[in-house]
């Protein structure tokens, strides 16, 4: 319904694919978001300690294998990590709140609609190019 109404009122629509967004969220941001949402202090402490120890190596399987030194991971969260859905929801709720505070978007029944989140992308709506640009700077 929102998209149908939007098509009648505005021409400015934007999609942002964020299915791999957690690869670029700094650890410090993840912790800060968890604190803002008042998640369990025990969980926050566990995540802080765990993230400090995240590391990997890369092995290139060639006739003479090449193995890198240990690489410390300073951002992102593994898609196989059991906390990924929680962090995903916390990050999207925060981003949606930031976009809503811009007061940009289009009006539907007296309310401003600026964004809709889907499984793999953010869809943002604006009345004009300047409004959309301002919203995208927030993202």
Backbone angles phi, psi at 107, to 5 degrees: -90, 135
pLDDT of residue 22: 59
Domain containing 104: what range?
Answer: 2-138
pLDDT of residue 113: 76
E-state strands within the chain: 12-17, 55-56, 59-60, 66-67, 71-72, 106-108, 111-113, 115-117, 121-126
pLDDT at 100 over 70: yes
Average pLDDT over residues 122-132: 76
**Which residue is it, tokens 């196989």?**
80
In this prediction, residue 17 has a pLDDT band, given cuts at 50, 70 and 90, of: low
Q: Decide: pTM greater than 0.85.
A: no
Give the residue from 97, 135, 127, 112 showing the smallest Cα distance to 16. 135
pLDDT of residue 121: 64
pLDDT at 55 over 70: yes
In this prediction, residue 52 has a pLDDT band, given cuts at 50, 70 and 90, of: confident
Backbone angles phi, psi at 122, to 5 degrees: -105, 135
Number of structural domains the chain divides into: 1
């Amino acid at each position: 319904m929102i998209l149908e109404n939007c098509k009648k009122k505005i021409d400015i629509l934007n999609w942002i694919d964020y299915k791999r967004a957690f690869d670029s969220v700094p650890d410090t941001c993840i912790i800060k978001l968890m604190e803002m949402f008042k998640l369990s202090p025990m969980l926050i402490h566990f995540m802080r300690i765990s993230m400090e120890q995240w590391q990997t190596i890369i092995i290139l399987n060639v006739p003479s294998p090449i193995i890198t030194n240990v690489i410390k991971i300073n951002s992102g969260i593994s898609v196989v990590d059991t906390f990924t859905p929680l962090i995903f929801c916390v990050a999207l709720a925060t981003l949606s709140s930031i976009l809503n505070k811009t007061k940009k978007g289009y009006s539907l029944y007296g309310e401003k609609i600026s964004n809709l989140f889907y499984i793999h992308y953010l869809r943002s709506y604006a009345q004009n190019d300047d409004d959309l640009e301002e919203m995208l700077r927030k993202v």
